[in-house]
Structure 1
Amino acid sequence: MAEAAFKSLRETADLRHLRQIIVGLDEGVILIDPDQSLLWANDAALAMHGVGDIAELGATVDEYRARFQLRYRNNHRVEADDYPIERVVAGDSFSEVVVEVTVAGEESPRWVHQVRSLVLNDADDSEPACLVLIIQDVSARFEAEDRFEQSFNANPAPAIICRLSDLRYVKVNQGFLDMTGHHRDQVLCRTVYDIDVLRGAEKRDLAKERLGEGRTVPQMEAELELPDGSTKLVIVAGQPIDMGDQPCMLFTFADLEPRRKAEGALRHSEERFTRTFQMAPVPMAIGARDGHLLCEVNASFTQMTGYGVTEIIGRPLGDVQLWESDATRRQIEAAIDGGRDLRAHEARIHARDGAAIDCLISTEAIRLGDDACVLWAFQDITQRKATELELVEAIEAVMKDTSWFSRSIMDKLARLRAPQTDAQGPGLDDLTARERDVLGLICRGCDDKTIARTLDVASNTVRNHVARIYAKIGVNRRIAAVAWARARGFDGEGVAVDKHQRETAA
């Protein structure tokens, strides 16, 4: 019946050939009689509605409306008079109307159609001879846009999209709103000039040029102005995209404000440390952990050593010859390289003028910025050591006879004179058996006469043995020899003492 109506409608050759022209088009085409009958539809139009022939599409406009429910993209239902098929019958001319199409009885739409109208008139008649509905299936495009929309909104990374034609913002995600404190309505429809995402950018001119050309804006630091008038440091980058058929620019951001605050706090902390370091009355230095180079010294250090800042900074301590000996330097550097901190380690250093300075040295591993460093602290005990030695010498001058002292006093005097005797160097095996006997009797508090009587030798022989012992172990005083022996666990207990001397000592 529809076929007969179609033939009666078309008396001219042009209309008879119309079906042949549109049958193979990718766009869907529906021909409608002015009396609201659906005359014919090409295969593309049928497929876009999931039907196989015109009868399933509907014989009339009313049947079509009953079988397919339409709504706009904003989820508002399309009223009956606003159906594109109704509007074309009413003679309305329109283009690019986008609707979602749902089969009657179903809840979710199956397709998204973009529809436009066409009215065909006879050459000699102003009345329409045929009404045409032209349909494009844009479901895939809008599905992709929906996926992008969901991803864009769910992405925690701040982002905003502006239309290139007028530089107005058309989309903004929650990440941007959270970062800036703006409300969505305050952002949308405003321009790049209103909310300047390139404010204070390090390459602002380049960014504006790329934005005007619709090209990629490279990453750069910028400062966003916030609603309260403060600013936020960010990294901004722009990527051209298409939203529908409109070219746009997607701006994405990385919030650098936490980094700036952390850097500010670190800088203030380092400034406080530097002030404290420079004003400290204790001689201090900062050195690189790798290479043992000094990076900084304070005023107390230069005052103690006599080295100026330019003379010692950037040089290994071994080259400066700060340490008394290479053995001392190697011992201290080995401890630092092994990750150990020194605490009140006694060592001797040399001042610039060659003067010896006895110090207690402490170190602490620290970090300055990204660098591993060592903080050195030096306590000058030269005067204290001198006072202690003067005390010992005074006691020795008054009390020449060591037999007057008890064993505990001898030990204390030995520790006082040599608190950190190095166990390396000459050992007991370097002494002869007779020299060890003499040294043992010295450790037990015997004088030369008692040693001579105990060993049954002459006093000169004892003095010769004592001189050789001093030369071998590197000392020149009796108490130093006792300290040397005690450091090696030798106290002379195995040497028999003359009975008369034992009674005298008792």
Structure 2
Amino acid sequence: MSGAGIRVVVVDDHPVFRLGMMSLLATLPGLQVVGQAADSASARALVDDTVDVVLMDLDLGGESGIDLTRELVRAHPGLAVLVVTMSEADESVAAAVRVGARGYLLKDATPDAVERGIRAVASGEMIMGPRVAARAMAHLVGGRTAVRVPFPELTAREREVLDLLARGYDNAVISRRLVLSPKTVRNHVATILAKLSLSDRAAAIVRAREEGLGVDHS
């Protein structure tokens, strides 16, 4: 940590959230925002060994914040990644921690919680938002057998897209149901095909249904 305080980079593909977060951090003593990125390539170019904390969204418009976290932590061992995202899914939390994230907050966290999270991970602590921590504790105390997650190599958002794909929906419908742009849906589909080594949408539908996706369990 430099004499200028905690040096922070914000990585999020939503400009309103990203700029709002930067405005908040600019008001906090001892914190210095040194950059912002909307995608993986920009983040790689910004983050170096002088950066203390990266605030990381998990869904970067078709790119994976999990993969980027793994890459940045490996390249910069002193870096602390604090995930700030919409997903409170157990598998997303577990994946983030496995690749080296030191904290996990939801995007509805209060400004005080964000500040506490940044200062905590910068000092080497692990921190989770209250809802995330409560779910983790319930899982441990309840002693439940872990539920097998289909396609663990996919992000939670990619599994949502694949599930809707397996239901026979086209990109336009998936876009409306998940409130995503058509381009983002196309990027997700392309990433899913690449990660699962599938040739086309038809093959993805077959694989997804084999794993139980695309089925109405109600």
Q: What's the TM-score, normalizing by structure 1?
A: 0.13
Bigger radius of gyration among the two: 1
Decide which structure has greater strand share: 1
Decide which structure has greater helix share: 2
Higher RCO (CA 8 Å, separation ≥ 6 residues):
2
